[in-house]
Amino acid sequence: MKNKSHNVFRIAIVLLAVYGLVALVGQAAYIKPALAAPQAAAATVTPTKVAATPTRDPSLPTPRPGNALANGLFISLTSDDIDTAAMAIGFATKILTGTDKPVTIFMNVDGVRLVDINIPQHVHSSGKTMHQMLQMFMDEGGVALVCPTCMVNVGGMKKEEILPGVLIGTPDYTWAAMFAENVTVLSY
């Protein structure tokens, strides 16, 4: 009986994950046409990378206010396992560059070690370190947050020891990204 309930639980988790991904991709299909007109207008005004991706306007504060995070993706990254982290960061980057969704990665628990500049970086099979992958994500307009409590209590880190560009995940930043309207939350 116990094994049967465990299997039902596992199936439910997989179905929820698939449902979340389908919903995320489905939302992107509805959002892109709505953004077509602003993209064209922005392209005629400012011929920069911002024109191609209007939702990632560098004039907005980073991290963005809650209303600019609607319909986005929030990834909670709790692991410092290189393959798990690479999957989370790679997925976040693909969603960020393939849709017009705002994406936030929140590193917490053991995930805080991924942004410690004092820990030597292993190269993933993709040929990149986690620092390089996170930097690529941030360069595309993604927001990377680190849990301040986990940073100190789990990682033993100080603010000046985190990867440049990664922000301390204060409640204002983290909650705005996590609880914005129609945000999809994934956990790795």
Q: What is the pLDDT of residues 139-149, one digit of tens each?
A: 999 999 999 99
| pLDDT value at residue 32 | 37
| pLDDT value at residue 7 | 56
Q: 94: phi > 0 → left, psi -120 to 50 → alpha, else beta; which?
A: alpha
pLDDT at residue 9 is higher than 60 = no
Q: What is the pLDDT of residues 70-80, one digit of tens each?
A: 999 999 999 99
Residue 117 and residue 162 in contact, taking contact as beta carbons nearer than 8 Å: yes
Q: Which residues form the domain of 78?
A: 55-187
Q: State the DSSP string of 75-125.
A: EEE----HHHHHHHHHHHHHHHHHSS--EEEEE-GGGGGGGBTTSPPPPPT
Whole-angstrom CA distances from 85 to 9, 71, 106, 113, 134 are 24, 23, 11, 11, 10
pLDDT at residue 152 is higher than 70 = yes
Please check whether residue 110 lies inside any domain of the structure: yes
Rounded distance between C-alpha atoms, residue 24 and residue 9, angstroms: 23
Please check whether residue 36 lies inside any domain of the structure: no
Number of domains in the chain: 1
Please check whether residue 13 lies inside any domain of the structure: no
CATH for 69:
3.40.1260.10
